[in-house]
Structure 1
Amino acid sequence: MEWILLVVGLLLILGTGFFVAMEFALVALDQSAVQQEIEKGDYKGKAVLQCLKTLSTQLSSCQLGITITTLLTGYTLDIALQSMAVGTISSWGLSESVARVLTLVFSMGLATALSMIMGELIPKNMAIAISYPTARALAPYHLLFTKMMGPLVRSMNGAANKILNLFGLEAKEELSSARTPEELSSMVRRSADQGTLDSDTARFVDKTLSFAELTAVDVMTSRRQIQMLEDTAPVSDVIELARTTGHSRFPLYREDQDNVVGVVHLKKAVAVPEDIRPTLEAGALMEDVLRVPETVHLDSLLMQLREGALQLAIVLDEYGGTAGMTTLEDLVEEIVGEVSDEHDTGNTEELALKLGSGDWIFSGLRRPDEVNEYIEPLTVMENPAFETMGGFMMHALRRVPEEGDTVPVDGGILRVEKMEQRRVDRLRFIPQATENTEITEGSVRA
């Protein structure tokens, strides 16, 4: 009789393993991944997808199966092992009470170990390692069990959900397979760190995901750096400005740079006969220009530029004045990095220059997220109070910086190398600053 109970107990342990493996496989799987397998022709995956669409019910069914098999395992296996061990332990010459206690401890310990290893740990680890094959093999049988035990599963699930509702929580039948851009970016960076995705691809995907989070003010060329012309300027000035700057498009303003009225293209200027260029106003050749607020997101801005077949947009501040300008090339470079066109000199400025001493030199117009990514030891927290590294220095110093001013940051020290009037033109980052690092009189501690 004990041998029959032993076999039944071992089969019940396998039953526990079945439900444990199914439970962990369902939790580990993603609906979109299963859907892809089905689209490839794996129709057995439909049972898995059906389980995922009713995940709460299926997990409750797994829990019910685990509970039933575990209880029956304890009943059958304990009796079988006690019956088989009592004779051996009694032969050791121990008293009946001691032998009974040792037999109970032995049988319970062995039954628990077998149940944990064969019924819990092995199925769990297998389901985590090969989630889809495990779920694919077990799903049809599990759906049958759920159908058979449906009334009991639904009643228990309903009772649990009512208790959750008392605490203001609402149960969900399936997990959301959607991911936010932040979650996807985190997954991409983790994949790159683990070597499953090469760094260039990871950087491209990460920039693509974060693209929609950026606004026009993040990528625009500031008003101070824009080469503008008054709309009454002669066409010859357009050609001369193109020759000296290498640009082909110039915004035109009327009376004040806050009133940009259009944009003129070099190709229209050179099409004007030379004898007319000194007298013909650039405004006669101008085209309308797209105007957008600083807060417009880059994905929306890109769509507007493409729909209008435009190359640039004027960015307006909250008062309607000119804050800056952004081009289609700026948007593309935000994803793929620096892009050289036919007007570039070929000496595109590096985001940051590393010196032989280990220090870094970069423009004060760079954004914190750019230098954080490019200069690994440097970490500057982004803040709505500033958009550029020069703005960070002003924010930290609480005044207009001067050459030589320093601000301690995570990873080292930032020092103002060059000012252009009241704008921070160049910054130096000194990595791994120590307590003995010299701090100038105009420095602050961040």
Structure 2
Amino acid sequence: MVIGELVPKTVSLARAERVALLVARPFLWFLNTFHWAINLLDGVSGAIVKALGVSAPQVHGVAHSTEELQIQIRQARERGLLAPGEEKFILSAMELAQIQVREIMVPRPDMHTLPVESNLDEVMRAFATTQRSRIPVYRGSQDQILGFVHIKDMIWILLDRERRLAENQTPPPFDLRRVFREVLIVPETKPASELLAEFRAHRAGMAVVVDEFGSILGLVTMEDILEQMVGEIHDEFDVVEGPLTLADGALIFDAALNVRDLDAQYGITLPEDPAYATVGGFVLDQLGFIPKGGESFEYNNFRFSVVEMDGKRVARVKIQRVRSPEPDGNPANAADAMLQLAKGPKSPAGDS
């Protein structure tokens, strides 16, 4: 497989024009010599497949595997045909199909919701304090999400009430049930690429994520998916908070940080596992019990310590390098290595 497929494929992709010129004449001779045998085999196999009642698959003139496309994209970047940001965007978009919505959703404990009985003041106060444009609405408990209310609809209601009051008219009573919109319900295992297409088809921007039993796990927005391709998106209202850096170089992270983001932004790689999607989930998986705070363990030259708990949920985790990397130009000690990570997200290869 290595000699017969992978090596020739890689060489031909890297030196496409040169390889094509070398093999063109031999391939032409082979085709002219054995075309009758090829046509005969195609005809016989086609007749047998047709007799079995199976329709032959359509043949595409040009088809590339994901690996081939990734190689071509990286080579285009190396030759200067693509900017580093463009390469990262294309490769990230290709990986959307491998990302499940449970990995990028806002978990249920972090959801901002409103009971359907909320009055106008409570709804507007919720928008003001959360700085969200959409807030889910529930009846009874968060497992009964009815829909979501959009800030644009509330603005129209406020403007209409102001106009009526100016005209000495009595505004109609506010009822949140007449305002909220329908929300998409998606399973936790749905690929992010499919949800993006569903968002476009339904002209929606939010979906509620449920498990196999129909229990609410969290919510995911269009922004959550786009951030997997272009990185974190912050507007003028977002408070950007990075990890807290201690004097010894250790970093304290929010345990809700996704393991993919921990790798992409800080170069700390954790194993991907269906059992968890966040740093806090990784800590629970490694410990095997609900910690009380202060518990620690080592993994891949890093020490993970539980700094803060929120009930039974890990809230903050301290990560510290415990062994220096091999001398190959990397930081010489643990503190320097962690301080280098704390300077911010790493740049794509080739960035200045």
TM-score by length of 1: 0.57
CA change 1:135–1:323 in 2 (3 A) is: closer
- What is the correspondence of 1:18-57 to structure 2 with a 5 Å cutoff? 28-29=11-12
Q: What residue is the counterpart of 1:349 in the other structure?
A: 241
Work out which of the residue numbers 310, 320, 323 in structure 2 matches 1:433. Answer: 323
State the 1:357 CA deviation.
Answer: 3.4
State the 1:191 CA deviation.
Answer: 8.0
Work out which of the residue numbers 44, 51, 64 in structure 2 matches 1:178. Answer: 64
Bigger relative contact order, structure 1 or 2 (CA pairs below 8 A, ≥6 apart)? 2
Q: What residue is the counterpart of 2:253 in the other structure?
A: 362
CA change 1:184–1:145 in 2 (3 A) is: closer
CA change 1:397–1:285 in 2 (3 A) is: same
* Percent of aligned pairs with the same amino acid: 27
Q: Which runs of 5+ in 2 are unaligned?
A: 1-6, 42-60, 325-333, 335-352
State the 1:384 CA deviation.
Answer: 1.5
TM-score by length of 2: 0.70
- What is the correspondence of 1:227-266 to structure 2 with a 5 Å cutoff? 227-266=112-151
Q: Quick one: distance in 2 between partners of 1:254 and 1:176?
A: 53
**SS of aligned partner of 1:257:** coil
Q: What residue is the counterpart of 1:338 in the other structure?
A: 232
State the 1:409 CA deviation.
Answer: 0.9
Q: Is 1:396 aligned to residue 286 of structure 2? A: yes
Q: Quick one: distance in 2 between partners of 1:327 and 1:428?
A: 29
**SS of aligned partner of 1:212:** helix
State the 1:327 CA deviation.
Answer: 0.9
For 1:389, the aligned partner's letter is: V
For 1:262, the aligned partner's letter is: G
CA change 1:134–1:227 in 2 (3 A) is: closer
Q: What residue is the counterpart of 1:107 in the other structure?
A: none
CA contact (8 A) 1:363 1:426 kept: yes
Q: Quick one: distance in 2 between partners of 1:269 and 1:426?
A: 35
CA contact (8 A) 2:309 2:315 kept: yes
Work out which of the residue numbers 324, 346, 350 in structure 1 matches 2:218. Answer: 324
Q: What residue is the counterpart of 2:341 in the other structure?
A: none
CA contact (8 A) 1:248 1:265 kept: yes
**SS of aligned partner of 1:29:** helix
- What is the correspondence of 1:209-220 to structure 2 with a 5 Å cutoff? 209-220=94-105
**SS of aligned partner of 1:271:** helix
CA contact (8 A) 1:290 1:312 kept: yes
For 1:329, the aligned partner's letter is: E
CA change 1:287–1:25 in 2 (3 A) is: closer
Q: Which has the higher helix share?
A: 1
What are the superposed Cα offsets for residues 299-354 of structure 1, whole Å, 9 maximum, x if unpaired?
1111111111112111112111211111111111111111123xx5243233x455
For 1:396, the aligned partner's letter is: Q
Q: Which runs of 5+ in 1 are unaligned?
A: 1-23, 31-127, 159-174, 438-446
Larger radius of gyration: 1
Aligned residues: 290
CA contact (8 A) 1:26 1:135 kept: no
Q: CA RMSD in A?
A: 3.7
Q: Quick one: distance in 2 between partners of 1:290 and 1:419?
A: 32
- What is the correspondence of 1:309-320 to structure 2 with a 5 Å cutoff? 309-320=203-214
Q: Quick one: distance in 1 between partners of 2:302 and 2:79?
A: 28
